[in-house]
Each structure stands twice: as structure tokens, then as C-alpha cells.
Chain A
Amino acid sequence: MAWTPARLSSIVLSLCAALACGSAAQAQTWPTKPVRFVVPYPPGGSLDQVARALADRMKDGLGQPVLVENRPGAGGNVGADFVAKSAPDGYTIVMGAVATHATNPALYPKMPYDAIRDFQPITLVASTPNVLIVPPESPLRSPRELIDFARKNPGRLNFGSGSNGSTGHLAGELMKQMTGTFIVHIPYAGGNPALLGLMAGQTDLMFDNYANAAAQIKAGKVRALAVTTARRVAFAPELPTMAESDPRLAGFDLDTWFGILAPAGIPKDALERLHGETVRALASPELKERLARMGAVAGGNTPAQFAEFIAREMTKYARIVKLSGAKVD
């Protein structure tokens, strides 16, 4: 972009206009400057990809650039905390996730922020189920067979996960809890190394995010036994839920989700604009297709519904974490 005199003067003009508007007029004109969209994870993951696609769509609706900024660290807590402590003007938002707003508060003894009080939820962006997968040569063909085997051979099986306290780890712990089995948890430094470990036969089973494992499932490199959600999912209707495949797993319901939040106390008009534009962007064919390809269910609920959802998730994970004894500090 060349800094031509014409462009410079237009910038100067718009700056003057912005200053002249003052606070009274600002109410109608939000946003008047770029929106900072914090992704609390490193670039490249599926959450980051969706955030970038979303930002690209939202900027058209908002008429201002939406700048994605990766602020990784402490399982997402660094980025989420940054937004929690930002000015509540709607110009700083975060792509929160099941980690930052449900599992971390249960896992970490000392949280830098309050996942409920410090945030204004805007909308759920997407949720993806976890799937129970095993290596293709594994003799275990259903959760029931797996649990029966584990009961007869305590401590024989290993389950991998991307990290301590990940939803994959907690799903495994929940299954062990509900069925009274002992399966050894093998944590890896990330979901991909864990998946490779399963494919190489180091571990016997794993709860992986559907989006992450889909390609390997389709290619027959791993075998999916069940989804972890309460209902079967549209993109893999042949997969049973954990609950329906074994009565001992009744009520098993876990998934991975992410959504947009702002600091608590943002102006009403900013909240409405952000919510409206996010929902509109989510409804665009481009985003829909992208989420569908990931095996994700698009969100788009109201701020109130999202807040209620977060509260429910926090209670749920607090219980699972407590039962499993998992912790991170």
C-alpha cells in the first residue's frame, strides 16, 4: 500500500472526523477503530484458523479491521487474562475455549482471572465432539469391549492425551470413573504427538478432537469407536455415543468448544454489534463449510445463552476434575 498524499490526507481527515465525533456521537458509530481479536493459542491450530476466517468476515460487517493477535501461554490463561484486564470498550475480544472458561478454572489452583465475573460472553462459535479412537489393528471394537477388557486387565491399557487436563485426558478420566477401570494416562506434549503415539501403537486408546482425527479415521489409520457427545453427530452418524454403547456410560457428554468473549461491562451497542456481526459471519457459507469440514457444529447463540452454557460447563468440569484428581499448577 503506497502512502500517497491522497491516502495520507484521507487518513488525516478520518482522524479529525473521529476526534470531532466526541463521546456523544460515538454511541451510534461503534466501532471507530480496529478491533483486537486475541487468540490465546499459537497460530496454526483449528481454533486459530476459525478465528482468522471469522475476523476476515467480521471486518466487512463492522467496517473496521479485526486484527487477530496470538497471545499463547499457560493453557490459554495468558491471552484470556489479557482480555479480562483490557478496557471494557469492545475493542478487545478473545476467542475463549473450553480450556480458558471451563477446565482451567477447575484445574489451576490459582487463576489470574474469574472466568465468569470478568467476561461478557458474546456467542459460542463452534463445538466439536471428541471421538474415542484405537489403532486399526486393535481387537477392541466398541466401548463395551474396551471396558470389559480393561476391567479384566487393570493397568494393562494406556490412553494418550495432548496434555494433562485436556478434554481428551478428562474424557478418559471420566470413563475410568464411571466404569471403575484403571487405564494408565500417558500425556504427550500436544494432540498431534499423542495421535502419532496411538498410530505407532505406543498407546491403546485416545479421546481426540474429531477435527484432529477425522483425516486419519477416513484413511483407516485409526478406528473410531464412539463420539463423546450426548447425541450422535450429523457428519458421522454411524458412530454411536459413549452412553448408548454401554449402560455404564449413561450420561457421558463431553465436547470441545470455543466462543467469543469480551471484558465484562462493555457498552450495550458494542455488545450488540459484536454479537450481530459474529452471528452473521458464522452464517456465511464460507464459515459454515469450513466448520462442517472440521466436524464442528456452528454456534451463534445469544450472549445470555452462552453465559448460561459456560456456567454449566464450569460446574461439569469442576466435578470431573475433582473426581479424577487431575490438576495443573
Chain B
Amino acid sequence: MDAFNTLVANLGIGFGVAFTFQNLIYCFVGCLLGTLIGVLPGIGPIATIAMLLPATYALPPVAALIMLAGIYYGAQYGGSTTAILVNLPGESSSVVTMLDGYQMARKGRAGVALSTAALGSFIAGCVGTLILAAFAAPLAELAFKFGPAEYFSLMVLGLIGAVVLASGSLIKAIGMIILGLLLGLVGTDVNTGVSRFAFGIPELSDGIGFISVAMGVFGFAEIISNVDMKGARETFTNKITNLFPRWKDIKECLPAILRGTGIGSLLGILPGGGALLAAFASYTIEKKLAKNPDPPFGQGQIRGVAGPESANNAGAQTSFIPLLTLGIPPNAVMALMVGAMTIHNIQPGPQVMTSNPQLFWGMIASMWLGNLMLVILNLPLIGMWVQLLKVPYRILYPAILMFCCIGVFSVNNNSFDVLITVLFGVLGIVFLRFGCEAAPLLLGFILGPMMEENLRRAMLLSRGDPSVFLTRPLSLTMLLMALAMVVIISLPAISKKREETFQEEAG
């Protein structure tokens, strides 16, 4: 009870700080800017925050951080918007949203998909904020329990689950995952410093950029193959149904939202890939839990949007935990936030909570406000985004391609990345022709290098003894879960069921 009272008191301080007219305005401006820039394919929160950082120099520290946090959420949400509308993942975590979100848009339900994403994100954001406020310190300790062995086992579980992402042939899905793993090998090996498959090109020594691969295999490939199909080109604008979900939809996706929120809150704490894994784990679970979903997953199932969107937003909230409790940024966006803090004379670190309670709790309160602001901002915008689909293709397509190129270029300010994207665009067309899905490829591409890095680190630390993976309980549990998944996929009876669930498209 005492803890509860302190929490309420602390949140009181926070809302006292955040709820000034001025801060609300900054929060709004941040969310708006973030959404607008996030909607441009390829330009993610990192580029946005880096660009707008100087604009916050003149603001008081709390206002500056509130605005930056707003940009972060806005950009994240904007990324989902393009994923749903034009099949372009702005960020790694929106790859999963795309699977069913874009299919919903093709069936004229873009508005419903967007508002479901907004609703799910908001609920997840509220829960995530509360968790952050109440359990930040113990959760940070929990993250410490997660060593290289645990990471490796988690990645194994993730990769085996990646098979579920595919809605077509199992063999092709496995092939795509492996191809993704191989692509992930390109670049300097973390453990030895040896450069692999870089062909002496300095730009390749840090590996192929995620944005380049994603924009290529999804954006470029999709557009080019659409242009190719002259007669049969889809026009999904004239069958737009309602913009907002009906009661039936809400009832259907609420459990998915809650589950997604839970998974996202938990996995978000892990630095590196937490939010992505959460989105994807949520999708896997929804697909497994659903009995005879109509429409099936991969063809515009609303739960396939609601779950992952909630998971990645909850993850985005709890990913602030390492930053706020330890002062160690888990990813590039958070590193920029630290930069912003130091510019405003705040030394991020374990003491922020006690030395700057106004700032700490103010920021937590503003996270909630940011989420609320996004819903208020985006629900009216949905109508406008959907109208965007009515833009004639001869204008829409070149525009998307141009923004893709700008986005890809802006990651490293290097035109080499644009060339790589074109290359992956060509590859993407080949995949489309052969009915190979790109989502498992992207997952393998992201998880592979992390898996390898952690495997080898775990082995280095254990001096070559592989039993560490089995003697650490968390790691063992995840490996057993992975094994169970393999059994389920390979058992003939169940695999027949798998085909039923996953292969309707082919039938």
C-alpha cells in the first residue's frame, strides 16, 4: 500500500510538471512532427530526432525531453501508417504490422486497420507507462539476468517461430529465413573483427542496412511489380468501408491487444531488438491461439494488426527503462535522448530518479500524454491518410520511390545505400515471382547476427563449454519451448493442420 501511495504521489509530481499548457503544446508539436516525418518511408525517429535536436536547445529541459519523446512516439506510429497503407515498413517492428495491415488496406479496411493500430497503441502505451512508473527499478535488475546464453536461446525461439510468419509454403519460409541469416553475416564480425562478404567495400563493413533491405524487398519490389501488371492493377480505393472498427472488431481484437501489451512490456526491457521481438512474438501467439480465423492471418486479420502494434508500443515504453534507471541508452534513439539530456545539463544515470524527480516523473507522465495526443491527433488524420490511396498511381508510385530514396540516403548520408536498395528491389521482384515471402527473410536478417554474436559470446565466457545453454534455467526454458515448436511443426497430423491454417492462400 505504501508503495502504491508513493507511486501515486510520484505520478502526481509528474503530471504536475507535464500538465502545463506550454508542455502540452510541446508534446503536441513533437507528436505531430514525429507522425509527419514518420509517414515518410525510411525516415525514422533517429534521423528525425537528430535533425530536430538543435530546435530543442532553447527549451527548458523538461519541455525539450517531452517534445523529443513525442517525436519518438509519433515517428513510431507514422511508421505503422505507411506499413498499413503502402506496404512499407518504416521500422523493423512494423514489418509484422504490414503482414495483415496491408492486406486489410487492400480489402478497403485501411481505416479500420489504422484506427485499430491507434487504439492498440494507446492501450499498450497506458499500461506500459504504468509499468514503467511502478516497476522500473526491479525490471532493470531483471534485464541483468539476461546474459548472452539467454539471448541466444531467445533468438533460437524467435527464429523457429519465424516460420509462422509465412502464410505460404513451409520450405520456402525456411529458405527465406536462411537467406536472411546469410545476408546478416555481411560485415565485420563482432567477435574477431574479421570482415565477411564485404568485398573490400568500406560501406559494407558494417553490414547491409535494415532500411535498405526492407525498402528494397517491400517498397521497390511491390511498386515495380504493380506497374508491371498493367491490366490487373489493384484499385482498392473504391471499396473503402468504414474508417473505424465496429463493435465486433473491437471485441475480437481486445484480447490480442492485452496479450500484445503484456509481451511488449516484458520484452521491451531487453536492449537491442526487444520491441521487434515483441511484435513478432505477439503475432505468433495470436496466430496460434486463433481458431478458424476469418479472414485468415496474412489476409487481413485484424488481430494480426492489433496484437503486434500493441506489443511494439508497449515495448517502446518499457525500452526507456534502461535509460531512465541506469542512464545507459539501449538503442540509437535513446542515445540521442541522452545527448539531449546532457545538453540540458542533466547527467543521465542511476541518480536521475532521485536528483531530478521533476524530470523523471514529468517524462513518465508525458509519455502517457504523448500516447493520448497521438490518438487525438491520428484518429482525424486517418480519413486523410486513406484519401492518400486515391492519389493516381502515376503520381503516388514515383512519390513513394522518391521518398524511399531520400529516406535510405538519410540513414548514413551515403548514396551507396540507395544502390543497395535498388539491388534488393530487383531481388524482391524475383521473390514475388517465386512466391517467396520477404517477412521471414527480414526476421532472419535481424535476428541472425544477434544470435551469432550472443552464441559466440556465451561460448567465450564459458570457455567453450556448450552446457551453459542448458544449465541456466531461463535459457533452458526457451530452448525447450523452441523444441516444442519444432515438434509441433514437424508432426504430420499437426503439420496438416498447419497447412490448413497457413495455406488457404494457395488453395
Contacts and interface: CB of A to CB of B under 8 A. Distances in A.
B275 interface: no
A265 interface: no
A245 interface: no
A192 B205 contact: no
A177 interface: no
B369 to A, nearest CB: 24
A196 interface: yes
Contact of B461 (A44, A164, A186): A186
B206 A73 contact: yes
A229 interface: no
Contact of A221 (B191, B192, B326): B326
A74 B205 contact: yes
B499 interface: no
Given A71-B412, A216-B326, A163 B193 contact: yes
Contacts of A74: 188, 202-203, 205-206
A186 B457 contact: yes
B461 A73 contact: no
Residues of B in contact with A, size category: 35 or more
Contacts, number: 143
Contact of B272 (A73, A77, A193): A193
B271 A202 contact: no
B193 A215 contact: no
B203 A78 contact: yes
Given A186-B457, A200-B147, A328 B195 contact: yes
Contact of A202 (B53, B148, B349): B148
Contact of B414 (A78, A165, A200): A78
A327 B348 contact: no
Contact of A189 (B194, B342, B348, B453): B453
B413 A71 contact: yes
Nearest to A164: B193
A49 B351 contact: no
A326 B192 CA distance: 9
A33 interface: no
Interface in A70-84: 70-75, 77-78, 81
Contacts of B245: none
Contact of A219 (B57, B194, B350): B350
A110 B327 CA distance: 37
Given A44-B339, A216-B349, A52 B412 contact: no
Interface string B292-305: 00000000000000
B463 A71 contact: no
Given A73-B206, A73-B412, A199-B144, A42 B326 contact: no
Nearest to A289: B345
Contacts of A173: none
Given A184-B460, A186-B461, A73 B203 contact: yes
Contacts of A294: 342
B50 interface: yes
B462 to A, nearest CB: 11
B202 A199 contact: no
A43 interface: yes
Interface stretch (B73-81, B85-93, B224-232, B328-336): B328-336
B271 A112 contact: no
B460 A219 contact: no
Contacts of B328: 192, 195-196, 216
A75 B193 CA distance: 11
Contacts of A255: none
A293 interface: yes
A255 to B, nearest CB: 20
A100 to B, nearest CB: 12
Contacts of B349: 214-216, 218-219
B148 to A, nearest CB: 7
A216 B350 contact: yes
Contact of B190 (A71, A81, A112, A163): A163
A187 interface: yes
Given A52-B53, A186-B457, A202-B147, A293 B347 contact: yes
Interface in B414-469: 414, 453, 457, 460-461, 463
A194 to B, nearest CB: 10
Nearest to B195: A329
A164 B194 CA distance: 9
Contacts of A218: 347, 349, 351
Contact of B194 (A42, A193, A293, A329): A329
Given A49-B339, A78-B202, A215-B349, A196 B271 contact: yes
Contacts of A165: 193
A157 B111 CA distance: 57
Given A110-B200, A202-B461, A218-B349, A49 B342 contact: yes
Contacts of A200: 144-145, 147
Contacts of B203: 73-74, 78
A195 B335 CA distance: 14
Given A73-B206, A196-B328, 13 more contacts: A43-B49, A53-B343, A56-B57, A70-B412, A71-B413, A77-B202, A158-B460, A196-B271, A200-B145, A214-B349, A215-B350, A221-B326, A328-B193
Interface of A: 42-45, 48-49, 52-53, 56, 69-75, 77-78, 81, 107, 110, 112, 155, 158, 163-165, 184, 186-189, 192-193, 195-196, 199-202, 214-216, 218-219, 221, 290, 293-294, 326-329
The 9 closest A-B pairs by CB, nearest first: A215-B349, A164-B193, A44-B335, A219-B350, A43-B50, A328-B193, A200-B144, A74-B205, A74-B202
Interface of B: 46, 49-50, 53-54, 57, 144-145, 147-148, 188, 190-195, 200, 202-203, 205-206, 271-272, 322, 326-330, 332, 335-336, 338-339, 342-343, 345, 347-351, 412-414, 453, 457, 460-461, 463
17 contacts: A71-B412, A74-B188, A78-B414, A187-B190, A192-B271, A193-B271, A196-B328, A200-B145, A202-B148, A215-B348, A215-B351, A216-B328, A218-B349, A219-B351, A290-B343, A328-B193, A328-B195
